Chain A
């Protein structure tokens, strides 16, 4: 077993696509943990979806042995962190498990909003940050400019930052050496009471929950009685070990400074919350590690199986996904329009999209998803306060004293050319200007307070299109503010379609109502009768469109005896109908429920 001063616990932080996972692969490859033949591209992102989207969704860890130039062997524990604002809390817990961080910056693109957010978070955790300039093989690479930017903007010494290409492997050795020299060995007392930080956990159908942790103090081995301090859950350790590449390697004991895993026949990831402290039940540490919080979903939507008969399959799939994802919330709900389904809660839009995609791909489910909603606080006249996650459940306006909505602190990094259009966008989305910092001549950081419900409604798309992709966003929930909110209902053929209701600020209600009606008019095919589509606030109609009746749908053609052909045409038509939802007498295509999420046509 290595002594503590030969351990280096670190993570890699980067903006999306700046090469974090590729660098991780090179490090693993260079230290000989895997031969190249065994290397599957990007070891750490092992979910199919992670590889495809180039993002990390779950934290992962790997232990590598590196023989340094000083002749000594070092143990590197590389903890891979999720790279998206939705998973900020997970990122912060992963960082807390490290002693240093490699900051990867793209030599062509420079610092982005997420880079900054992550670096500041790392510095907050007292990590030593080791900058690395990646993609120097690109023709557009400007390493000098980026080095200056790192020094000016972040204030990190970057003159001797390794200039590397993770893709070609150029200068990776220098990164490895700097890990040894610049990242400190872990502190911690192996003889103190056990104190370990959970940074992730996964569910395994044989071993139960496998808990990933970093030991701050003490030791842990098979048979140790442990207690999870926040949840109070107590159990006996069955196995401890460390992380090979894609496999778990059991060992006798783990001690202070080490990173590893334990199993203890734990059935539920909710008992092993990320950020919780593990201690010895009989000899507990005096206080838990700081920073634990129970993460709560910020964004909710309804998810319904396109085929009602697959409700049970959807429930089973959600249950399985939740085994690995304590932040995924779901509970059954019923919609008049969509039948039986679930109200699901997510950390953010990306989290929502990922779960939706995994359900569709890994579980082969066809889903209808309703417009995402944030949690509104409804203060009722009787003094009661309810957290509203489904617009349909909004109490009668006469019972409402006032409502509050969640507000975020948003930081938008952008090139100065786009300051105008992006400020317009934030203004349209009810943003409150806080300030602007120039990073260098051509780049600025724009700060706004924005209502979260404006962000979850196609803000990313609008940001990207209005900045031609040159703006990036980071945000953090900062609290609730009182707001003039109304519930907008959509009536199709005079019947309210509950799945289309949503909460909106009263100032934008007319505009949104009009756009909704227009969009639905395009999405709902003509049927055997005229269909009015109306937007209403309470009993007041604020917008109306009409889908004209289908006048003609007749095959006035002779097919002779070729009935099969005629039948095939009718079957095709019937298939089309099957993909629709029956609401009253009206057939609404499933994509209509989702198309209303994207109304911005700028």
Chain B
């Protein structure tokens, strides 16, 4: 039986952050309730899926904004429709300032066993620039409560290359957060996206060389504190790598529920509608259907797999496609291996450290 994953999108937040281009925004309580009802309907009306769910990720937006009773209904319908592995990783994203002990305990009771906290920075000044609704103190409170409620698998999101941020600031940020010993740290670079308030502003962003150093600092500082890098932006204590995240990079099948959610089933990708009215109305929600050819799938397997420090498994590739990566991508692999950006170790082809810094250049060659 095939393992697969589920993603549930909750597109609500208290207030849009200045850099955010995700599909989310503030909404009144009634909308949130009708959205939860629509989600339930989508989950229950879907085709049954063979296999076992090994991870569920409730992301957003700020899913912790939902009334726990609504979260419970959503989970119940998922459990009813799908068969979950007893060890399934079940994560909910939460923002400091939206959590209290009862809510956290309720999550535990529902079977949620992993919490992803959107901190972004332990510096209030930086939080302010980003337009976050919370302080570092709010975070510390939430973090303590989560531990109290019994969460023993917590991720903290951090952002680097922020406006006015100096290299030393980032190093301190890392040490401060890693000092709390969360099981997992995600460290993303700030990317200025079109249509966000940041895109309109004159920002004093660190230059390319500083960002380069910050990225290397991340790996070194976190390694010294026990965290291993397993993906371009993700670090974990041993054995605490995020199953859900890895699933995307090894092309495990996943079903996305909710507004704008993406799915990969068989060799078909699609997205749900991004139109809230249409989503709430129900019916056929799928858009942008794309059937992947073998060649598409092979290219994906390569460029997605290279996001992981472990790299692409050659045996998995052969299992999936009946040929070796070398047979399909020989010239590209040779070129970047010779330039020192790729290396092959036993079963895996991976980016070298210099290769990671310029990974887009290499990844796009597989398309």
**A interface residues with partner B (beta carbon < 8 Å):** 527-529, 550-558, 560-564, 567, 569-571, 573-574, 577, 585
**Which of chain B's residues has its CB closest to A565's CB?**
B262
| Known A555-B191, A556-B187, A574-B364: A567·B59 in contact at CB below 8 Å | no
Do residues B364 and A573 form an inter-chain contact, with CB atoms below 8 A? yes
Residue in contact with B271 in the complex, picked from A553, A562, A571, CB distance below 8 Å: A562
Do residues B209 and A564 form an inter-chain contact, with CB atoms below 8 A? no
Residues of B within 8 A of A570 (CB): 303, 360, 363-364, 367
| Known A560-B59, A570-B364: A528·B262 in contact at CB below 8 Å | no
Residues of B within 8 A of A563 (CB): 248, 262, 264, 269, 300, 304
Number of interface residues of B (CB under 8 A): 41
| Known A561-B262, A564-B271, A571-B367: A554·B7 in contact at CB below 8 Å | no
In the bound complex, CA of A556 to CA of B363 (Å): 13
In the bound complex, CA of A563 to CA of B252 (Å): 12
Whether, in the assembled complex, B254 has its beta carbon less than 8 Å from a beta carbon of chain A, the answer is yes
Whether, in the assembled complex, B127 has its beta carbon less than 8 Å from a beta carbon of chain A, the answer is no
Do residues B59 and A554 form an inter-chain contact, with CB atoms below 8 A? no
| Known A528-B358, A563-B304: A556·B364 in contact at CB below 8 Å | no
Do residues A554 and B232 form an inter-chain contact, with CB atoms below 8 A? yes
Whether, in the assembled complex, B79 has its beta carbon less than 8 Å from a beta carbon of chain A, the answer is no
- With contacts A551-B357, A554-B359 known, what are 15 further pairs, Cβ within 8 A? A528-B339, A528-B341, A552-B208, A552-B211, A556-B188, A556-B233, A557-B189, A561-B264, A562-B271, A563-B304, A570-B364, A570-B367, A574-B367, A577-B365, A585-B339
Residues of B within 8 A of A557 (CB): 188-189, 191, 233
In the bound complex, CA of A557 to CA of B57 (Å): 17
Residues of B within 8 A of A551 (CB): 208-209, 212, 357-358
Residues of A within 8 A of B360 (CB): 553-555, 569-570, 573
| Known A558-B186, A563-B300: A552·B262 in contact at CB below 8 Å | no
| Known A556-B188, A556-B233, A557-B189: A550·B261 in contact at CB below 8 Å | no
The B interface, classified by DSSP as helix, strand, loop or mixed, is mixed
Do residues A567 and B262 form an inter-chain contact, with CB atoms below 8 A? no
Residue in contact with B358 in the complex, picked from A550, A558, A560, CB distance below 8 Å: A550
- Encoded as 1 (CB less than 8 Å from any A CB) or 0, chain B from 195 to 232 comes to 00000000000001101100100000000000000001
Whether, in the assembled complex, B263 has its beta carbon less than 8 Å from a beta carbon of chain A, the answer is yes
Residue in contact with B215 in the complex, picked from A550, A552, A571, CB distance below 8 Å: A552
The A interface, classified by DSSP as helix, strand, loop or mixed, is loop
Do residues A571 and B7 form an inter-chain contact, with CB atoms below 8 A? no
Residue in contact with A554 in the complex, picked from B256, B269, B357, CB distance below 8 Å: B357
In the bound complex, CA of A402 to CA of B275 (Å): 75
**Which of chain A's residues has its CB closest to B23's CB?**
A562
Whether, in the assembled complex, B290 has its beta carbon less than 8 Å from a beta carbon of chain A, the answer is yes
Do residues B300 and A558 form an inter-chain contact, with CB atoms below 8 A? no
**B interface residues with partner A (beta carbon < 8 Å):** 7, 57, 59, 186-189, 191, 208-209, 211-212, 215, 232-233, 248, 254, 256, 261-264, 269, 271, 288, 290, 300, 303-304, 339, 341, 356-361, 363-365, 367
Ordered by A's residue number, 24 sampled pairs between the chains whose C-beta atoms are within 8 Å are: A528-B339, A551-B212, A553-B359, A553-B361, A554-B189, A554-B356, A554-B359, A554-B360, A555-B360, A556-B232, A557-B188, A557-B189, A560-B7, A560-B57, A561-B7, A561-B256, A561-B261, A562-B271, A563-B300, A567-B300, A569-B360, A571-B364, A573-B364, A574-B367
In the bound complex, CA of A241 to CA of B364 (Å): 62
Residue in contact with A556 in the complex, picked from B209, B215, B262, B365, CB distance below 8 Å: B215
Closest CB-CB distance, A455 to chain B, in whole Å? 42
In the bound complex, CA of A570 to CA of B359 (Å): 10
Closest CB-CB distance, B213 to chain A, in whole Å? 10
8 tightest A-B CB contacts, nearest first: A561-B262, A556-B189, A570-B364, A574-B364, A573-B364, A553-B360, A556-B233, A553-B358
In the bound complex, CA of A552 to CA of B269 (Å): 30
Closest CB-CB distance, B242 to chain A, in whole Å? 11
Residues of A within 8 A of B290 (CB): 564
Residues of B within 8 A of A585 (CB): 339
**Which of chain A's residues has its CB closest to B270's CB?**
A564
Do residues B359 and A560 form an inter-chain contact, with CB atoms below 8 A? no
Residues of A within 8 A of B254 (CB): 561
In the bound complex, CA of A552 to CA of B57 (Å): 30
Closest CB-CB distance, B118 to chain A, in whole Å? 11
Closest CB-CB distance, A136 to chain B, in whole Å? 53
Closest CB-CB distance, B94 to chain A, in whole Å? 16
In the bound complex, CA of A554 to CA of B362 (Å): 10
Closest CB-CB distance, B238 to chain A, in whole Å? 22
Closest CB-CB distance, B229 to chain A, in whole Å? 11
Residues of A within 8 A of B7 (CB): 560-561
Residues of B within 8 A of A561 (CB): 7, 248, 254, 256, 261-264
Residue in contact with A577 in the complex, picked from B189, B359, B364, CB distance below 8 Å: B364
